[in-house]
């Protein structure tokens, strides 16, 4: 399963010059926690999240506490606290992902980078969609038949160029049992790892054999 299969294509965006007050209004009215910032060519230049706006609510430091200001705030926070428009408040460069990437890669980026959403871009960096943690959770809640179909069509046939007819696959509540024969132990391990990455798979019981 690729990012393009689960992403939202109708994306709410703002421009770099959009006033921060208007950005906040968009988040509230659309009930979203972040919004991509795109330039006139549709290229993603950053993301403004609720956290970026909350910095405006954080208590500032006056002249009497200039030293504390220098010690407690980094440069990025000082810029965000003084922001008036999206360009100054946004996190940039934005963490993005291409639509052709697998879903497990999107999940890894979100967890590793601590973000809740990923703007989806084409090969030129232009916005084509957005994928959120909620989208990934929905992808995980798939039927056993859908999981088996992806294992046969995407993992075995397209990725490994192996006929799926050579394998017996059973999926029960996301638990996969796969039997068959591969060329060697390394190929068998690769197959297992690819199956584990299929969205919705809870566990894999591999009964793959190979020549001694």
Model pLDDT for residues 199-211, shown as the tens digit of each residue: 999 999 999 999 9
| More confidently predicted of 64 and 179 | 179
Instruction: Specify whether 79 is located in the same domain as 124.
Output: yes
Say what the pLDDT of residue 101 is: 93
- 140, 165, 184 - which closes a domain: 140
Residues 16 and 116 in one domain: yes
**pTM: predicted TM-score of the whole model, two decimal places:** 0.76
CATH number, domain of 182, equals: 3.30.300.130
Full residue range of the structural domain in which residue 170 is found: 144-209
Report the pLDDT value the prediction gives residue 62, as an integer from 0 to 100.
46
Which string of b and e fits 106-117 if b means at least 16 CB within 10 Å?
Answer: bbebbeeeebeb
Q: Is residue 124 located within the same domain as residue 152?
A: no
Indicate if 186 and 114 belong to the same structural domain.
Answer: no
* Number of domains composing the chain: 2
Q: Model confidence over 14-50: pLDDT tens digits? A: 999 999 999 999 999 999 999 999 999 999 999 999 9
Give me the chain's average pLDDT, please.
Answer: 89
Which of residues 90, 118, 140 is at a domain's end? 140
Residue 137 Cα distances to 42, 105, 132, 146, 148, angstroms: 28, 14, 9, 15, 18
Would the pLDDT of 67 be above 70? no
Single residue among 125, 140, 155 that ends a domain in this structure: 140
For residue 128, which of 99, 105, 156, 149 has the smallest C-alpha distance? 99
């Amino acid at each position: 399963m690729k990012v393009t299969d689960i992403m939202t294509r109708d994306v709410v965006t703002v421009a770099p010059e959009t006033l921060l007050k208007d950005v906040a209004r968009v988040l509230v009215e659309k009930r979203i926690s972040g919004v991509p910032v795109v330039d006139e060519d549709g290229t993603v230049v950053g993301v403004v999240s609720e956290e970026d706006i909350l910095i405006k609510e954080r208590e500032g430091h006056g002249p009497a506490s200039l030293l504390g200001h220098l010690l407690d705030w980094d440069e990025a926070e000082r810029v965000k606290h003084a922001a008036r428009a999206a360009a100054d408040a946004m996190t940039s460069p934005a963490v993005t992902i291409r639509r052709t990437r697998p879903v497990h890669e999107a999940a890894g980026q979100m967890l590793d980078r601590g973000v809740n959403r990923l703007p989806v871009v084409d090969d030129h960096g232009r916005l084509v969609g957005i994928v959120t943690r909620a989208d990934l959770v929905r992808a995980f809640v798939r039927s056993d038949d859908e999981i088996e179909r992806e294992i046969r069509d995407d993992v075995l046939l397209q990725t490994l160029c192996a006929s799926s007819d050579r394998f017996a696959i059973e999926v029960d509540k996301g638990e996969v049992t796969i039997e068959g024969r591969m060329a060697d132990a390394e190929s068998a391990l690769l197959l297992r790892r690819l199956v584990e990455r299929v969205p919705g798979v809870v566990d894999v019981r591999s009964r793959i054999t190979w020549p001694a």
